[in-house]
């Protein structure tokens, strides 16, 4: 890569550039780890595909801590386990605190801490990219909650897990990828999605530890997160003007539970397989 006032610089390409892409600019920056990165700004002639008028594949997604995402197809994706990465980071930070500030040993350890931060960040973003790719490429409409991710982090209790979940990053990725793939992305009002019965609409208070929805009005029972995902899908379809799903919750054959998919499977295979 040729840089003005510097000349030719050898680079390791992350991936091949599209044949029809035009490079409009480059951003060169140095990471805290000491490594240099060049991000290319590309322009392609292709416009994103038009969004379909007829929605054949639709999905509602409820995000959480216990299961990162539960969708209306009956799949629950487990949260990514980053405990080993966090432990290595904390150990490196303790070692850094024992070094003399500004010394060569301190600088070496500072770079080690930066690498541990980078490892954790890369693994989380890899998981989010693959999961958002799956939904954007396989559905005509993706409905999610319009979450105030920053406000949720500031709530007392369990803030570390909420911050680590990176729901805001996931929703932003999902939005631009749906635009790229020509799918509808709909963010709906999250209020009441967990309380309301997907079958009759009656609201029932449930503490967080209750993982099953059981409606006292109509008797409908379902996994708590699946019930919320179905309500999210209904609101999403109403928002785009197509009404409710063709099948009712009782006709989906999924009222009692979901199929669990570990986060590691998403990371290893590159996408979450549909059950």
- Catalytic residue IDs: 62, 145, 225
**236 contact partners, CB below 8 Å, separation of at least 6:** 58, 60, 141, 142, 143, 144, 184, 186, 188
CA-to-CA distance for 235 and 144, rounded, in angstroms?
9
CA-to-CA distance for 246 and 251, rounded, in angstroms?
10
H helices of the chain, where?
A: 83-97, 104-138, 149-153, 159-165, 167-181, 224-240, 263-269
Q: How far is the CA of 2 from the CAs of 8, 11, 34, 38, in angstroms? A: 4, 10, 21, 11
| Continuous segment of H or E residues that includes residue 43 | strand 36-43
CA-to-CA distance for 68 and 177, rounded, in angstroms?
19
* Helix, coil or strand: residue 67: strand
């Amino acid at each position: 890569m040729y840089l003005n006032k510097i000349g030719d610089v050898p680079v390791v390409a992350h991936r091949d550039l599209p044949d029809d892409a035009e490079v409009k600019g480059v951003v060169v920056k140095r990471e805290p780890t000491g490594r240099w990165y060049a991000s290319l700004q590309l322009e392609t002639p292709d416009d994103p595909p038009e969004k379909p008028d007829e929605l054949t594949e639709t999905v509602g997604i409820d995000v959480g801590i216990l299961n990162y995402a539960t969708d209306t197809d009956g799949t629950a994706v487990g949260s990514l386990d980053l405990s080993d990465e966090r432990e290595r980071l904390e150990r490196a930070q303790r070692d850094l605190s024992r070094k003399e500030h500004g010394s060569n040993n301190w600088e070496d350890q500072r770079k080690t801490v930066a690498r541990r931060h980078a490892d954790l960040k890369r693994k989380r973003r890899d998981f989010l990219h693959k999961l958002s790719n799956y939904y954007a490429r396989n559905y005509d409409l993706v409905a999610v909650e319009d979450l105030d991710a920053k406000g949720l982090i500031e709530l007392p209790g369990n803030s570390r897990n909420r911050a680590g979940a990176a729901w805001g990053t996931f929703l932003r990725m999902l939005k631009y990828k749906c635009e790229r793939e020509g799918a509808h992305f709909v963010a709906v009002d999250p209020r009441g999605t967990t309380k309301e019965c997907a079958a009759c609409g009656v609201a029932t208070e449930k503490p967080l530890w209750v993982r099953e929805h059981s409606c006292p009005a109509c008797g409908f029972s379902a996994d708590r997160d699946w019930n919320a995902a179905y309500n999210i899908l209904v609101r999403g379809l109403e928002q785009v003007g197509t009404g409710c799903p063709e099948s009712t919750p009782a006709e989906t054959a999924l009222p009692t539970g979901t199929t669990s998919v570990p986060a590691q499977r998403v990371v290893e295979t590159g996408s979450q397989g549909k059950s």
